[in-house]
Amino acid sequence: MHDDRGLVEARLKRVLDERIRPAVYPESVPLEVAVWNAPGEPVPVEEGLAATPSPVAVGDRWGAPWGTSWFRVTGTVPEEWAGRTVEALLDLGFDENMPGFQCEGLVYRPDGTPVKGLNPRNQWVRIGAPVAGGEEVRLHIEAASNPVILDYHPFLPTQLGDKETAGSEPQYRLERMDLAVLDETVWQLVIDLEVLGELMAELPVESARRWDILRAVEKALDAVDLQNVGATAAAARGRLEEVLAAPAVPSAHRISAVGHAHIDSAWLWPLRETVRKVARTTSNMTALLEDEPDFVFAMSQAQQWAWVKEHRPEVWTRVKKAVADGRFVPAGGMWVESDTNMPGSEAMARQFVHGKRFFIDEFGVDNDEAWLPDTFGFAAGLPQIIKAAGSKWLLTQKISWSQTNKFPHHTFQWEGIDGTRIFTHFPPVDTYNCSMKGGEIAHAANNFKDKGVARHSLAPTGWGDGGGGTTREMVAKAARLRDLEGSATVVWEAPEKFFEKAEAEYPNAPVWVGELYLELHRATLTSQAKTKQGNRRSEHLLREAELWAATAAVRTEFTYPYEELDRLWKTVLLHQFHDILPGSSIAWVHREARKTYDAVAEELNGIIDAAQRALAGEGTTALAFNSAPHIRDGVPAGGARTPAIAGECTLVPRTDGGFVLDNGRLRIEVDERGLVVSAFDLAADRETLAPGQAANLLQIHPDFPNMWDAWDVDEFYRNTVTDLVEADEVVPGDDGVSVRIVRSFGASKVTQVLSLAPGEWRLDLDTEVDWHETEKFLKLAFPLDVHAERYASETQFGHFFRPTHTNTSWEAAKFEACNHRFVHLEEPGWGVAVVNDSTYGHDVTRTVREDGGTTTTVRVSLLRAPRFPDPETDQGVHRFRHALVPGAAIGDAVREGWRINLPERKVTGGAAEVAPLVTVAQDAVVVTALKLADDGSGDVVVRFHESRGGRSQATLTAGFDVGSVTVTDLLERPLPDAKAPDRDGNRLTLKLRPFELVTLRLHRA
């Protein structure tokens, strides 16, 4: 037989595009339209419905950037349409290629009842099926004219990302406002032909199945009268019945489709718009659930559920019913789909505490899965947090975006730093916006890397980011793919059902140890420095507020601020969303974030001050409150007293220019350029810096990645570097024992103060940058005389080792990585730490010198200046604090990291001291949270972990009478199988494995 595939396939495409799809709505009449433009921010629904609109016509332009327009559409169903299915077609000016990234609408009835969302792929509203004829139609559309930020030419700088700079030019043009007859038989024919055409294209040319489909499609097209499609659609469908009825082979890959709409809690739109995106999507999905009995929809991010409850109670009622029916599924058990690299230990834990507790309290649902399809890589400390929250599974998708290496598994056990393993799935469909296209389904089956031992995968199905979620077309396609020869099988299932099947069939899944590093979006560790500093500052303020409020509540009449802390935690957790904390959102988002962090700091400082004053009492005694988990200057962890500072610092001129700082432990030489040319450990008789190298070296690179400006830094940025070695000033600091350095470069200026702390092995570097560069990357370098094949960087509840070499492509790809408070390198018996108060990105490289020694260079990432999506990213004044700690063991790195982030607070009072509420007699064991139990019982909750990667015996002594002790999960629920600590009165002793995390609930006697 002659090969006529191309002829039939081209015919199918043209007939579908030009004849069959247009025949889905064979008759239509225009609706009358009027509009009212809300002034300023969105108004309540009742106000929009009550407003008096003005006439507007199809073809008119509408919608200033970020504006809200209330359209009223009215009309009458023609009498002659009686008995037929009628829908309103409401096209606000959509581009079908941009679901979620442009205008959107939510349709209401006149009484304020929400009907469904309007989106580029979802423009219809059902009027009746069938209609009686003569019905009066009146609908209201709350339309958001969100501007297109990420356009066909992506990453162009734009002022549209902030309402303050976006202007007032109308963004859209009304395209269609009609009542139309829906020919359901033609609609079904379209789905039949799309499914078969897409499947056919994925089958091997030599397969009989491909030719069977080709001939059936040809016969169906022969049956279509192109001038009267509706009259012949049923006959055409009849010619496809046999090929659509052929069952899948027993070995077919099995896909669990989960209705999904991944909605970024902020990104190319502000937080307030996400509230409305969620309302539109949930309206759509509850409506679709009513129409499609097999469909199941899952939504993550408890914050988004809470928004619906608070702002759209009429939608919330429908959501609650759908949840009760078991078909609208709370997923993930986190407050938001957060970044997981940068949030601190407690913050990452509280994502699960607040997320899971919301779903438990509202619906009685306790999630077993973490759901993070779009997060930019996963920290090695996450598995034990998931387990400690009472969950056991993880889903992610983003690792498929890695540029260099293909991840070797789709289903696997992920092992974290403490040995905890979490059953993890990485959907081979390679999208969290699956639309049930044949190419996507075939890709999932072909791409699946665990063939032969497993055959289940998951497909998150639906348009996200305000695209409206799953469509009826996707559901119809899935129905045909349920059991179809040549295709993977598709069934709608909740995530829990998928994971149960996948885990049961794959009990010996392979193990991946350590972080899940995304080989892309590395610059998110640096972009929008003030957002990152706000997060770090807020995390530590929350620790302080809980610590001192709990101590004061137990010791005095102080009232523990349960509600305030709950609200503030949720605010901070929201801003850890994976496009806010990473710095990849529009200017509006980060402008608001800065204000929010300032407000959070003000409120938390108020709580801390009130609690500390309650503890200090009235008087004039100077007390230093130590919030860090280690003793400091004689002040115990979690206590207060007058500090005992031993030693002094000297500053003398250096022979060759510059200055020498000395505190009896370190001798620091700063040359006339303001560079540190020697950091000598006097006790170890050892130089820290590589010969001939200088630390405190600011370096600037060009920074213009190939795409994804705020997200990416490409490795070629290293090809060009400028060392900032010219100084405007190198003079003694105001205290007389520090060095002040001023540099100018480009349009920017840096002021630094270098100082030694009395009696400490620590050089403090305080850096202020007035930054006015564009598309530049600023680093701070420390070339160290250390031979180390690996280094440690802090992560949640411990640290993680990365190699300093680039033996393989996996190691070479990690040219920019994340740390929390410290980076640490060591040779046996001697090490160095670089600690920080607010930076995350860094790189570590090694070279071998001519003298045979190894130089290992640690570079801290300070600032970038991408122009998309915020063209003014990071412009302005920034302040960073770092410290170089020569001679540091890993425990010293841990201690100094806490110290720089939790400076002591000075309070005067009548008390000679404030004893800690809980004392831990082992420096390796770090308390990350000390608080009162969330249930208001007054119980004291203490969370701690082994911080050095070794085994440890911890002795905790409570500074109050303990009635009983319970080992709990993160949600403060008893762990029935946990071994209780040994107890002697108020003293508790227990043994910890490396990095083991423990939460104890101490019931007060």
Strand partners, 879: 768
Residues whose CB falls within 8 Å of the CB of residue 593, separated by 6 or more in sequence, listed in order:
530, 531, 534, 575, 580
- The tokens for 869 are 């999506």
411-415 vs 511-513, strand pairing mode: parallel
Task: Let me know: does 586 contact 269? Beta carbons within 8 Å.
Answer: yes
Determine the Cα–Cα distance for residues 180 and 87; give it in Å rounded to an integer.
5
- The tokens for 951 are 């085994």
- Tell the burial category of 20 from Cβ atoms under 10 Å away from its Cβ (0-12, 13-18, 19+): buried
Report in angstroms the alpha-carbon separations of 967 from 372, 389, 970, 980: 28, 13, 10, 7
Determine the Cα–Cα distance for residues 938 and 468; give it in Å rounded to an integer.
45
124-128 vs 85-91, strand pairing mode: antiparallel
Residue 869's nearest CA partner among 585, 580, 444, 604 is 585
Catalytic residue among 374, 430, 714, 923: 374
Residues whose CB falls within 8 Å of the CB of residue 3, separated by 6 or more in sequence, listed in order:
none
Q: Is the dihedral of CA 886, 891, 893, 898 positive or negative?
A: negative
Residue 741's nearest CA partner among 755, 732, 751, 733 is 751
Determine the Cα–Cα distance for residues 277 and 293; give it in Å rounded to an integer.
25
Task: Let me know: does 263 contact 305? Beta carbons within 8 Å.
Answer: no
What values do phi and psi take at 811, rounded to 5? Answer: -75, -40
Residues whose CB falls within 8 Å of the CB of residue 263, separated by 6 or more in sequence, listed in order:
274, 277, 278, 281, 301, 304, 464, 465, 466
**Largest CA-CA distance found in the chain, in angstroms, rounded:** 102
Q: Is the dihedral of CA 390, 392, 397, 400 positive or negative?
A: positive
What values do phi and psi take at 583, rounded to 5? Answer: 80, 25
- The tokens for 269 are 């739109």
Determine the Cα–Cα distance for residues 569 and 539; give it in Å rounded to an integer.
9
Determine the Cα–Cα distance for residues 863 and 192; give it in Å rounded to an integer.
54
Determine the Cα–Cα distance for residues 63 and 146; give it in Å rounded to an integer.
8
Strand partners, 372: 396
Question: How many Cβ atoms are within 10 Å of 533's Cβ, its own excluded?
Answer: 18
Determine the Cα–Cα distance for residues 637 and 831; give it in Å rounded to an integer.
25
Residue holding tokens 């213009």? 704
What is the three-class DSSP state of 407? coil
456-461 vs 254-259, strand pairing mode: parallel
Residues whose CB falls within 8 Å of the CB of residue 1001, separated by 6 or more in sequence, listed in order:
933, 939, 940, 941, 965, 966, 967, 968, 972, 974
Q: Is the preceding omega at residue 130 within 30 degrees of 0, hence cis? A: yes
Determine the Cα–Cα distance for residues 698 and 778; give it in Å rounded to an integer.
7
Determine the Cα–Cα distance for residues 172 and 65; give it in Å rounded to an integer.
10
Q: Which amino acid is at 241?
A: E
- Rg from Cα positions in the chain: 31
Task: Let me know: does 100 contact 50? Beta carbons within 8 Å.
Answer: no
Determine the Cα–Cα distance for residues 983 and 999; give it in Å rounded to an integer.
16
934 is catalytic: no
**Which residues are the active-site residues?**
374
